Amino acid sequence: MSKKMWGGRFAEGTHRAVEAFTASIDVDRRLFAFDIQGSIAHCRMLAETRIIDQEESAQLIEGLGRIRREIERGEFQFDDSLEDIHMHVEDRLFQIVGKVARKLHTARSRNDQVALDTRLYLRYETDAILEGLRRLRRVLVDLARQHLDVILPGYTHLQRAQPVLLAHHLLAYYEMFSRDAARLAEGRRRIDVMPLGSAALAGTTYPIDRQYTADLLGFAAVSGNSLDAVADRDFVIEFLGTASICMIHFSRLAEELVLWSSAEFGFVELSDAFATGSSIMPQKKNPDVPELVRGKVGSVIGALVAVLTTMKALPLAYNRDMQEDKAPLFQAVDTLKACIHVVSEMLPRMTFKADRMRQATETGGLSATDLADYLVGKGLAFRDAHDCVGRAVAWSLEQGRELHQLSLAELKSFSDKIDEGVFDVLTTRQMIERRIAYGGTASANVQAALARAEADLDREVDP
């Protein structure tokens, strides 16, 4: 049992079980660089405001730099009895610089310190994730450009519905991941608020300069209420919400790749480098990567639910429960980054089977809506056209033929408004190109959407 930094009022030492139970060092040690960055800024502010003198500040800053190097090199000793990363750094600082180390915590509490560290960490990781999403969105856009002439069936209820361009389908995912990026960027504004100086809960009696600290650490704002600043984990929850939505998008993409790489669909083939074999069935090439991406969404949603549940009904201000936010947060950040990375590497190495996709558009009555639209063009009300085409579909199914394979005479038996021009309308190409309303799959629309996406990405990289 070591002497605790808060040990002054205690007559008895901490039980070993309590030390083990309350310690968070195994989890929060990865905040070390942010903890030290925050402490250095705090020292500089304390000197600037003459709360400590320049010489003391310089000693502290040098010691903190040395600790950072020790941790980076794996030379640092971690110990449960020191609870968390904040205590570890302070304890080691005392060993290095002596009793001046005891001034570091002036005008500060671990409550505002951990809020600061978490914000610095999450701001940094948000930027990394935004960068990763930018790369993934670029991959999608590049694939769309390379496959502008590929057509596949679009589905509703997983039933073939209408033909669409593969580029249109890929750009749907571009839209999803762009919304995720926008949500992250928006949430970043609420992460980018500097809580230090709130101290334990009520603020501090020292003449600190919070704006000075915020400027040193590059924060856009300073928190306005000390109670809220140490009690707030909205920014964690918000991030996890955004991460969950993003993971849902990954899971939908992954599910399609699992389906599409099956023999039943045969729309894509994963590269050998991104598939795995079976230990018993030599013929197997399994889509384990998309499956794992699909599977990992559970843990990220779990992280969101965990932190929501931890925060629910906590009285103001700081409560130790809040220490439980970090494991789920770190795990969600890691999972999201891993998925962004592996999917960005996998997609460009996949082969799209354009022939199989096109073949799949040729059966299943995909032209039924277009035949109805054609009849509307000839003056029928849509519901009447729908009814008429429904009868034609039933008949063609009985025959084992597609609508476009019926003769003009056969088609005319369902409506005398049908003439020779119908066969033009029933080609897959026409079904695509006639969908010209903004946002539809006509190639002119898709090319314009692609150009917009490319311009957006160029702007984001080089604002």
- State the distance between the two ends of the chain, measured CA to CA, in whole angstroms: 55
Identified catalytic residue from 249, 278, 367, 415? 278
Q: Is 239 helix (H, G, I), strand (E, B) or coil?
A: helix
Classify each residue of 389-424 as buried b or exposed e, where b means 16 or more C-beta atoms within 10 Å of its C-beta.
beebbeebeeeeebbbebeeebbeebbeebeeebee
Of 110 and 134, the one with the shorter C-beta distance to ligand ARG is: 110
> Is 15 annotated in the active site?
no
In the complex, least distance from residue 114 CB atom to ligand ARG, rounded to whole angstroms = 4
Distance CA 451, CA 462 (A): 16
User: 403 near 392, Cβ under 8 Å?
Assistant: yes
Tokens 């070591």 — which residue? 2
- Cα angle value 338/123/63 (rounded, 5°): 105
Q: Quick one: three-class SS letters along 156-195?
A: ECCEEEEEEEHHHHHHHHHHHHHHHHHHHHHHHHHHCEEC
Of 331 and 447, the one with the shorter C-beta distance to ligand ARG is: 331
Identified catalytic residue from 105, 157, 169, 344? 157
Of 195 and 287, the one with the shorter C-beta distance to ligand ARG is: 195
Of 109 and 441, the one with the shorter C-beta distance to ligand ARG is: 109
Of 303 and 406, the one with the shorter C-beta distance to ligand ARG is: 303
> Is 278 annotated in the active site?
yes
170 residue type, one letter: L
Of 25 and 245, the one with the shorter C-beta distance to ligand ARG is: 25
- Cα angle value 317/320/321 (rounded, 5°): 100
In the complex, least distance from residue 318 CB atom to ligand ARG, rounded to whole angstroms = 6
Point out which residues bind ligand ARG (CB under 6 A). Answer: 24, 28, 84, 110-111, 114, 320, 322-323
Q: Is 69 helix (H, G, I), strand (E, B) or coil?
A: helix
In the complex, least distance from residue 320 CB atom to ligand ARG, rounded to whole angstroms = 6
In the complex, least distance from residue 315 CB atom to ligand ARG, rounded to whole angstroms = 14
Distance CA 439, CA 445 (A): 7
Distances (CA, A) of 34 to 71, 189, 398, 424: 12, 18, 70, 65
In the complex, least distance from residue 268 CB atom to ligand ARG, rounded to whole angstroms = 45
In the complex, least distance from residue 293 CB atom to ligand ARG, rounded to whole angstroms = 30
Please give the positions annotated as active site: 157, 278
